[in-house]
Amino acid sequence: MSVAREYHTATLLPDGRVLIACGFTPSTELFDPQTASWTTTAPMSTNRYQATATLLANGKVLVAGGINYPRLASALLFDPVTSTWTATGSMPTAHEAHTATLLPNGKVLVAGGWSGTTYVGIANAELYDPASGTWTATAPMHSPRFDHTATLLPNGKVLVAGGYHLGTLSSAELYDPAAGNWTAASPMTTNRDNHTATMLTNGKVLIAGGGGSGTYSSAELFDPATGVWSLTGSMNVIRMQHTATLLRDGKVLVAGGWNSPMGALSDTEIYDPATASWSSSGNLVIARASHTATLLADGTVLVTGGASTNDVTSSAELFLPGALLHASTSGGNLTLTWPATNGGTFHLQTAPALLSTKWADADDLVVTTNGMSEAVIPMTGAAGFYRLKQ
């Protein structure tokens, strides 16, 4: 990327590009997977971080709240057709470290956030109507909270879980858009904040990691059909401020994060709902926390920014799931092929942790696409992370 960022947003646009915004800067940029290139676009009017970005049904992106000292109630719209930002209605309440969920009716539910007072969250919830560009208050949550998760369930309700308010929370609640109210759900088995929540293809919600009484490797599942939480296999590494991405095959990729004493993490692992188990999926090129991970149309995962070991990073990398790759060997080299949506030239830098010593001193390789993408990479494994050149 052109700018180092953490606590930023990444939004997959209808045309397949990814909009990167926020993160201690008003600048924004677009990643085009077809050319593996970045372009800067119009800046936002206000610098903000810990904001939310939501793709609306009309193709625009709603960026809401965040902090720029003070906390912000303002909201902006990005139009991918014109690559411009415009102001839209402001929220009744300033929100930071909140959640934003696109509802089946096209409205956006914003819930919770930090109050600005140490350790104290807010319970306020509001709805954005894209048709009118206005916000209306809806019923507040039962518990104030920030650094929580919000997940749209198959029945149209929203599950809010965990977070922080005068301590780490295990409580969960459900928002019903039809009734406009919240009902208490069963609490998680563990209190958590800065965890992840992923809607699985089997209809259950996977909660992984987070902090509370230390940093966790544990994970649990919420079953909307029964309203019951149950423990599932634990991750191999304790982590918080990581990402969790649902892959095409229904598995979940968890990447990076933070723990003490290791700091920013490069470890990644994959959860298999069929076996309720985790397996290592190699290392990120650069350790990072508070980053983003976005599933692209071709099944790869774009990882951007975050806090690295010594500083905030501008780096970005792609994860190529093994299921996408076809491997063959010739002359000691491993040739990988994976589907490409269009022609173009990809410039990738390989992850040293995945390479044989034969390739240890190489800097760059070029992957050219023409219906199929091909790369000759002397490495020990197929799936892995590859750094995008800036």
**Site of tokens 């470290």:** 97
- What are the boundaries of each domain within the chain? 326-388
Q: What is the per-residue pLDDT for 327?
A: 47
Q: What is the per-residue pLDDT for 64?
A: 98
Q: What is the per-residue pLDDT for 237?
A: 97
Q: What is the per-residue pLDDT for 282?
A: 80
Q: CA-CA distance, 251 to 273, in Å (whole number)?
A: 7
- Measuring CA to CA, which residue among 35, 88, 138, 93 is closest to residue 347? 35
Which residues in the chain show pLDDT less than 70?
322-390
Measured between alpha carbons, how far is residue 267 from residues 302, 323, 353 in Å? Answer: 16, 20, 11
Q: CA-CA distance, 271 to 252, in Å (whole number)?
A: 5
**Site of tokens 């306020």:** 124
Q: CA-CA distance, 343 to 240, in Å (whole number)?
A: 38
Question: What spatial distance separates the first Cα and last Cα of the chain, rounded to whole Å?
Answer: 6
Q: What is the per-residue pLDDT for 388?
A: 56
pTM assigned to the model: 0.87
Q: What is the per-residue pLDDT for 322?
A: 64
Q: What is the per-residue pLDDT for 339?
A: 52
Read off the pLDDT of residues 231-285 as tens digits, 9 standing for 90 and up.
Answer: 999 999 999 999 999 999 999 999 999 998 899 999 999 999 999 999 988 888 8
Q: What is the per-residue pLDDT for 389?
A: 47
